[in-house]
């Protein structure tokens, strides 16, 4: 049996320039004359059928994978176009069946797959599709960035809505830049826990004052 191609999972926090890395990777592959397919999830609708990064002047056209589909658009396009490389943005917003479809593609076709995404949601839990990708043999690489508050590497996210820390709720919350009251931070574990401690303390204060 032949070796399957590279399956890479590049994980970084918000504003760690993940999409910029995808765009640069795609650019150099294009320059080498390699055939590349780029996909993004339907849930990330901010930039339409493009991967966009605030860090770069160029953008990259991408095929949107519909949320309700099993991801067979990825296998049918791979079959039809025989790419050397598949690039995937915002992997955390794909579904479990779509992740499994990607794993199947890696076994069926001679293609390298480079994916980019977030590991942890603002509730401190790993995104299930990311977990499934690791279970399916994707090799984790990290895109390092400093914590917004100290010099540690950022690993976690905090979400503030109208200044209030959000600790429960939907794991998936697409950043909406139009909504100015919604603020995400990329933080280290220690700053993440400190934010939760402050939240809990304020809650107790509030209860005592009643
Ligand atoms: Zn920190």
- What is the secondary structure of 153-202 as a DSSP string? BP-EEEEEETTEEP-SS-S-----TT-TTEEEEEE-HHHHHHHHHHHHHH
CA of 150 to the centre of ligand 1 (A): 4
CA of 35 to the centre of ligand 1 (A): 41
Give the 3-state secondary structure of residue 5.
coil
Sequence-ordered list of residues with C-beta below 8 angstroms from that of 210, at least 6 positions apart, any chain? none
CA of 149 to the centre of ligand 1 (A): 5
Domain assignments of the chain as residue spans, ordered by start: 7-209
CA of 146 to the centre of ligand 1 (A): 8
Q: Which residues pair with 36 in a beta bridge?
A: 85
CATH architecture of the region 7-209: 3-Layer(aba) Sandwich (3.40)
CA of 195 to the centre of ligand 1 (A): 10
CA of 182 to the centre of ligand 1 (A): 20
Q: What is the residue-level pLDDT of the chain in tens, covering all 210 positions?
A: 455 689 999 999 999 999 999 999 999 999 999 999 999 999 887 888 999 998 899 999 999 999 999 999 999 999 999 999 999 999 999 999 999 999 999 999 999 999 999 999 999 999 999 999 999 999 999 999 999 999 999 999 999 988 889 887 655 555 554 555 889 999 999 999 999 999 988 887 777 765
pLDDT at 177: 47
Residue with structure tokens 């934010």? 195
173: closest CA among 132, 130, 120?
A: 120
Residue with structure tokens 């399957």? 4
pLDDT at 139: 97
CA of 62 to the centre of ligand 1 (A): 34
CA of 196 to the centre of ligand 1 (A): 13
Distance CA 106, CA 154 (A): 30
CA of 3 to the centre of ligand 1 (A): 41
The torsion region of residue 90 among left (phi > 0), alpha (psi -120 to 50) and beta comes to: left
Sequence-ordered list of residues with C-beta below 8 angstroms from that of 192, at least 6 positions apart, any chain? 124, 155, 156, 157, 158
CA of 117 to the centre of ligand 1 (A): 21
Tokens at 148, concatenated: 């917004």
């Amino acid at each position: 049996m032949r070796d399957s191609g590279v399956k890479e999972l590049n994980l970084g926090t918000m504003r760690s320039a993940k999409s910029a890395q995808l765009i640069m990777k795609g650019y150099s592959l294009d320059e080498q004359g390699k055939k590349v397919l780029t996909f993004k999830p339907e849930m990330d609708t901010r930039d339409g059928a493009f991967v966009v990064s605030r860090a770069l002047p160029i953008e990259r056209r991408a095929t949107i994978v519909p949320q309700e589909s099993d991801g067979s658009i990825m296998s049918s396009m791979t079959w039809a176009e025989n790419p050397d490389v598949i690039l995937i943005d915002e992997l955390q917003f794909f579904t479990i069946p779509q992740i499994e479809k990607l794993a199947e593609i890696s076994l069926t076709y001679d293609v390298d797959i480079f994916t980019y995404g977030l590991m942890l949601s603002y509730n401190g839990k790993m995104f299930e599709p990311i977990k499934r990708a690791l279970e399916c043999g994707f090799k984790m690489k990290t895109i390092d960035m400093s914590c917004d508050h100290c010099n540690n590497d950022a690993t976690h996210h905090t979400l503030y809505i109208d200044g209030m820390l959000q600790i429960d709720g939907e794991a998936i919350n697409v950043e909406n830049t139009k909504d100015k009251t919604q603020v995400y931070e990329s933080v280290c574990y220690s700053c993440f826990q400190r934010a939760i401690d402050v939240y809990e303390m304020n809650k107790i204060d509030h209860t005592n004052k009643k």
